[in-house]
Structure 1
């Protein structure tokens, strides 16, 4: 059975009334559950008082835009297309989503990058019916976060919670606009933390919730029982393309979102920090081989020369178990958290070396490239997700970490796990160098050197 992950955002299933009925009588009072704000023992417990303050910070987002698709025209057919080597089609679209006001004084609204992708016009509607034209200040497609700005007139912002202290089993409330039904509220619990590998590409460190997730919830709020923002709803698991909620939804943690938004508001873009290690997840066998009692974390297979990790004294064979005192469950979680921090950020890593625990202080380096989608590097790469990596021989290059079906990048000839190692016989070690080689080349035709397993091949693109 095929499994699909849809970027349609998260809404959690309603808390069962029987859970409240079965609790001790004193637990239903205002003292037992302050978030219910019951005035006396005869008042039914309710989330309404908290939602009355939280819901005005959640907005509806209507987008109009143009999707541009590009298709290479084979040489033999170019005379039928006016001699053009590329056919460009433009298709107007409309879409709906949600957003959360995070700064009332500046008019800042956070949403998902996919909600406002290719947007020409953004209309933001508040709970009181007021409408504003939204301006996109910047976005990060690899983390699926975008920052919008509207006129800061009598707005209400939602306070941020520390998502690092969330626990599995904590109650959460989701607020959004599924199918354009504004201000829809549902509730549930945190089902899992640090969830990765859900096939969305980019940087993944999701909160999983037993969410009733539907189209239009993307960018909406996942809040705790104090009405504080713990996550931005982003995606659902669905067994089919047209299937609905099955109780597995994902949200981007508020701490990760804040790190990215702070960079976008300051620079207009994300400037990633760089740790400078290559590794993988820790399992029981690896932990035993390296005399570690910890079976989870990030194993360091290689430390990049002159990197932040090298300067901090991290060595190949180390197991990183915590970042700033927070336990790490996987290498992907470490990668996502580091990637959301800006260059120059200071952090503390807990590592296991030869069975002994120690801490190291690290100042992140500069990833060296403004975060861009593959399409921004060159239209022929549209639909691909790039990451710095290595080929099977250990040579550095640009890895194709994901690629969309029927995309220009797939038609161009790229495949998942390909590694771009050169342009016009000049070595390429990372995304920054690939971007520079293509931008600075004066050649009309450029040969892209690709490693695919043990095979080397060249793909030709036109400037």
Structure 2
């Protein structure tokens, strides 16, 4: 792991804040006192907002697997792997987003593998929480508690926030419940941090530390603009660079979890990369920022909508794009069947294209849609004989590129370049992000092997 990656730490229990647009000086903001002898204060706003931010305590058991050296298996027999279980406890934060239903949103890494989840309110009440579903790639989880006299945070339109807007983080850092810190929006659309699978973060300098994960980032009107998820800290502490999942992205994911019990990601069906000055010059384009389309997959949503290789996508639903990663995160957070307006530049001409997204979580696809070297294989979500989830080769054409590459029927692909994959969606995303030589980790019966795509 390189130095920059070591400096990125997930912070269990981060507070999510809802960022709104900065109000002009003449606006009557809720935190200003109307008494001449009093100074401006955030207290009135916080008195309304903090009851919606909760502390989360978890208990569970972690299972670790350890490879048994070949020589010991020879002498003593037994399986190739040994498993060990050890108990763990953790603290984090959460936000009540629906008081009538008892919905609490937090980070997936706060409640992952938890057997018991306890939610504690500001008034001292405690509730056992049920996890309705979660999404590891976007680090979102939805909990449900008994809806007894709860307070929820209203959601801001996070697409309207601007760099420089004031925000406040509320959470449970180091177990210090209801801690409040303030700052501004430092940047928008942050991606490429290798924190999670889908990155479109709000960056803030409001102090965020371990235990803030899942907490609230709010604007000065007390509206939720984001869920704090990670920090950049060389020593594991706050240095003024924190990251939050935008409220709009969170809401889209949570709605899918509430309806289906899982996230049914949208799929555009393109390959590409970021636009930079060199690419813009090579393409003779005046556009120096956005998402460059290098390939449109046949019969995909993009193909049906008329996208072409060489297009530069500059906006999604009217909001400017900074990178291909940002486009990928926005599309993935939208549900299958969502209608999206893309603004793109083709041969110097700007145009709008309406796309109806495919379902990225479909259970079976033709592998050629993912990578040319896999042509001839049909892939499906499945698991190996030990019950490990992965991508199974359900059909294979004799003499096909996939067969010549070394795949066999009933192979289960469980990793790409040492990154674990459990579904077709994760497999596709891992291949999209991979460059150069690609090594597939394959389970074949009782054996584990690597197949290399060059």
Confirm or deny a common fold (TM above 0.5): yes
Q: Which residue of 2 aligns with 1:68?
A: 63
* Distance 1:320-1:189 versus aligned 2 partners, 3 A rule: same
- Assess if the C-alpha contact under 8 Å between 1:308 and 1:363 holds in 2: yes
- Assess if the C-alpha contact under 8 Å between 1:398 and 1:419 holds in 2: no
Q: Deviations over 1:303-334 (max 9, x none)?
A: 00100000000000000000000000000000
Separation in structure 1 between the aligned mates of residue 417 and residue 185 of structure 2, nearest angstrom:
29
Aligned partner of residue 36 in structure 1, secondary structure: coil
Q: Which residue of 2 aligns with 1:146?
A: 141
Separation in structure 1 between the aligned mates of residue 182 and residue 288 of structure 2, nearest angstrom:
33
Q: 1:5 aligned to 3, 8, 18, which one? A: 8
Q: Which residue of 1 aligns with 2:348?
A: 355
Q: 2:181 aligned to 168, 182, 186, which one? A: 186
Q: 1:59 aligned to 40, 43, 54, which one? A: 54
How far apart are residue 38 of structure 1 and its match?
1.0
Give the unaligned 5+ runs of structure 2: 17-23, 364-380, 392-401, 408-412, 421-433
How far apart are residue 292 of structure 1 and its match?
2.6
1:209 and 2:225 are equivalent in the alignment = no
Q: 1:302 aligned to 280, 295, 313, which one? A: 295
- Assess if the C-alpha contact under 8 Å between 1:384 and 1:402 holds in 2: no
1:237 and 2:232 are equivalent in the alignment = yes
Q: Which residue of 1 aligns with 2:128?
A: 133
How far apart are residue 44 of structure 1 and its match?
1.2
How far apart are residue 399 of structure 1 and its match?
7.3
- Assess if the C-alpha contact under 8 Å between 2:417 and 2:439 holds in 1: no
How far apart are residue 163 of structure 1 and its match?
0.6
- Assess if the C-alpha contact under 8 Å between 1:11 and 1:217 holds in 2: yes
- Assess if the C-alpha contact under 8 Å between 1:299 and 1:320 holds in 2: yes
1:92 and 2:87 are equivalent in the alignment = yes
- Assess if the C-alpha contact under 8 Å between 2:31 and 2:41 holds in 1: yes
- Assess if the C-alpha contact under 8 Å between 2:14 and 2:92 holds in 1: no
User: Equivalences for 1:22-41 in 2 at 5 Å?
Assistant: 32-41=27-36
How far apart are residue 71 of structure 1 and its match?
1.5
* Distance 1:306-1:60 versus aligned 2 partners, 3 A rule: same
Q: 1:259 aligned to 249, 252, 256, which one? A: 252
How far apart are residue 269 of structure 1 and its match?
0.5
Q: Which residue of 2 aligns with 1:458?
A: none
* Distance 1:383-1:59 versus aligned 2 partners, 3 A rule: farther
Q: Deviations over 1:93-139 (max 9, x none)?
A: 00000000001111000000000011000000001100000100110
* Distance 1:376-1:210 versus aligned 2 partners, 3 A rule: farther
1:400 and 2:416 are equivalent in the alignment = yes
Q: Which residue of 1 aligns with 2:326?
A: 333
* Distance 1:181-1:340 versus aligned 2 partners, 3 A rule: same
* Distance 1:378-1:231 versus aligned 2 partners, 3 A rule: farther
Give the unaligned 5+ runs of structure 1: 13-25, 386-390, 405-415, 424-437, 455-463
How far apart are residue 445 of structure 1 and its match?
3.0
Q: Deviations over 1:332-356 (max 9, x none)?
A: 0000000001110001000100000
Q: Which residue of 2 aligns with 1:117?
A: 112
Separation in structure 1 between the aligned mates of residue 152 and residue 385 of structure 2, nearest angstrom:
38
Aligned partner of residue 264 in structure 1, secondary structure: helix
How far apart are residue 83 of structure 1 and its match?
1.5
- Assess if the C-alpha contact under 8 Å between 2:97 and 2:105 holds in 1: yes
Separation in structure 1 between the aligned mates of residue 294 and residue 414 of structure 2, nearest angstrom:
18
Q: Which residue of 2 aligns with 1:345?
A: 338
Q: 1:312 aligned to 305, 308, 311, which one? A: 305
How far apart are residue 450 of structure 1 and its match?
2.1
The size of the alignment, in residue pairs, is 396
* Distance 1:167-1:80 versus aligned 2 partners, 3 A rule: farther
Structure 1, 63-72 or 288-297: larger mean CA deviation: 288-297
How far apart are residue 153 of structure 1 and its match?
0.6
Structure 1, 60-69 or 284-293: larger mean CA deviation: 284-293
- Assess if the C-alpha contact under 8 Å between 2:199 and 2:326 holds in 1: yes
Q: Which residue of 2 aligns with 1:445?
A: 446
User: TM-score when scaled to structure 2?
Assistant: 0.80
How far apart are residue 76 of structure 1 and its match?
2.4
User: TM-score when scaled to structure 1?
Assistant: 0.79
